[in-house]
Amino acid sequence: MNSFDKSKPFNNLPLLPPKTEFETKEILTKTIKASRALAQLNGAIRNLPNPSLFLDTLHLQEAKASSEIENIITTNDDLYRAVVADKKFDNPATKEVISYKEAIWLGFRSLEKKPFITTNLCVEIVQCIKQNTTGIRTTPGTTLSNTKGEIIYTPPSGEEVIREKMTNLETFLNDNDTIDPLIKMAISHYQFEAIHPFSDGNGGTGRILLLLQLKLEKLLEIPALFLSEYIIKHKDQYYKGLRAVTERNDWSEFIIYILDMVEKTAIKGLDRLESIIQLMETTGQDIKEKLPKVYSKDLVEVIFKLPYTKRQNLIDADLGTPKTVGGYLIALEEKGFLKSVRVGKEKLYLNQKLMNILEN
């Protein structure tokens, strides 16, 4: 056994890879299902004429869901208004979601420059989420409790111990190619959470790492996967799975959980993506018919980039002078494609049908 005591720092947390047989029939069958769903989603993304078009929206949706796990709740409406409007966020929850989205961006950009997940990258991510200068824990005293306030886990303590375990995780993440990437993703997520390198923000950082691993393993080009939505829905099972590893060295429950998360969210992501593409096509056709002088492919892209848009976005896309594009927006509203709302001194235009897809 691991000599685990929930109220003492778990400095004996075993290094990776685990010395357990986890490639059981059940796990391998599930791995195949998850991989298939993920490959379909990735194929659909590759076929998009302009995959990066949806990036902002996808990042924001994941950021919103992930923040909800920690009870940071904002509505889609507030969130997208805040992103598009000049008026800066008066709502702290919205602000935190936007920082989280920035952290996802930061991670992806970093992997594009150099394809490694490092301890430093984790630190940059947590700093970006929390908008402070936090780092690896140096003082003792971090514990995890359940809702009743009872301690359920005490992570390793001492900067050196934490760094050593992080270095081992780094090696596993970047160098191990004998374990299936999705199984590896589950193992490293457990390990990251068990090390709990920061005093706060470990859950959020760990969830971003899941997306980064998919990117690193070339399984998913853009994060059209709302993993956090699944975790919100199955939160108790998530915590239970983490504990099964620590307390009984039982990996299967947690690995199955992560594989199911990938499968289900990939299927849902594909569904959403297809709905958006279809809506974009029919809307484009409709605008072409009803407003032939307004229509252009670029214009349709601008009103699908985010559920809210404004005059400046059309100007930035070189669609015309302020006066011309102002006229376009008025015409689009008259025909029911968009609906205007006043936010501060500005007028924003809502694409309600796109918002509806994101809401469900």
Nearest residue to ligand ATP, by Cβ distance, number only? 203
Of the pair 154, 351, the CB lying nearest ligand ATP is at 154
Least distance between ligand ATP and beta carbon 96 (Å)? 10
Least distance between Mg ion and beta carbon 296 (Å)? 46
b/e map of 334-360 (b: 16 or more CB within 10 Å)? Answer: eeebbeeeebeeebbbbbebbeebbee
Q: Which does 307 bind (CB under 5 to 8 A by kind): ligand ATP, Mg ion, none?
A: none
End-to-end CA distance of the chain: give it in Å, rounded.
44
Q: Which does 193 bind (CB under 5 to 8 A by kind): ligand ATP, Mg ion, none?
A: ligand ATP
Least distance between ligand ATP and beta carbon 142 (Å)? 8
Q: Tell me if 176 sits within 8 A of 188, measured CB to CB.
A: no
Interface residues toward ligand ATP, by CB under 6 A = 69-70, 144, 152-153, 193-194, 200-204, 206, 239, 242-243, 246
Instruction: Give the Cα separation of 32 and 180 in Å (integer).
Output: 10
Of the pair 199, 249, the CB lying nearest Mg ion is at 199
Q: How many residues in total does the chain contain?
A: 360
Sign of CA dihedral 132, 133, 136, 142: negative
Q: Which does 153 bind (CB under 5 to 8 A by kind): ligand ATP, Mg ion, none?
A: ligand ATP
Least distance between ligand ATP and beta carbon 300 (Å)? 36
Instruction: Give the Cα separation of 350 and 64 in Å (integer).
Output: 19
Least distance between Mg ion and beta carbon 199 (Å)? 9
Of the pair 244, 355, the CB lying nearest ligand ATP is at 244
Instruction: Give the Cα separation of 115 and 106 in Å (integer).
Output: 13
Of the pair 77, 200, the CB lying nearest Mg ion is at 200
Instruction: Give the Cα separation of 207 and 196 in Å (integer).
Output: 13
Q: Which does 202 bind (CB under 5 to 8 A by kind): ligand ATP, Mg ion, none?
A: ligand ATP
Instruction: Give the Cα separation of 108 and 208 in Å (integer).
Output: 10
Residue 341 pairs in a beta bridge with: 348
Of the pair 37, 194, the CB lying nearest ligand ATP is at 194
Q: Which does 281 bind (CB under 5 to 8 A by kind): ligand ATP, Mg ion, none?
A: none
DSSP letter (8 states) at residue 340: E
What number of other Cβ atoms are within 10 A of residue 188's Cβ? 24
Interface residues toward Mg ion, by CB under 5 A = 200
Of the pair 230, 304, the CB lying nearest ligand ATP is at 230
Of the pair 192, 295, the CB lying nearest ligand ATP is at 192
Nearest to 346 by CA among 75, 86, 78: 86
Least distance between ligand ATP and beta carbon 66 (Å)? 7
Instruction: Give the Cα separation of 158 and 145 in Å (integer).
Output: 20
Least distance between ligand ATP and beta carbon 193 (Å)? 4
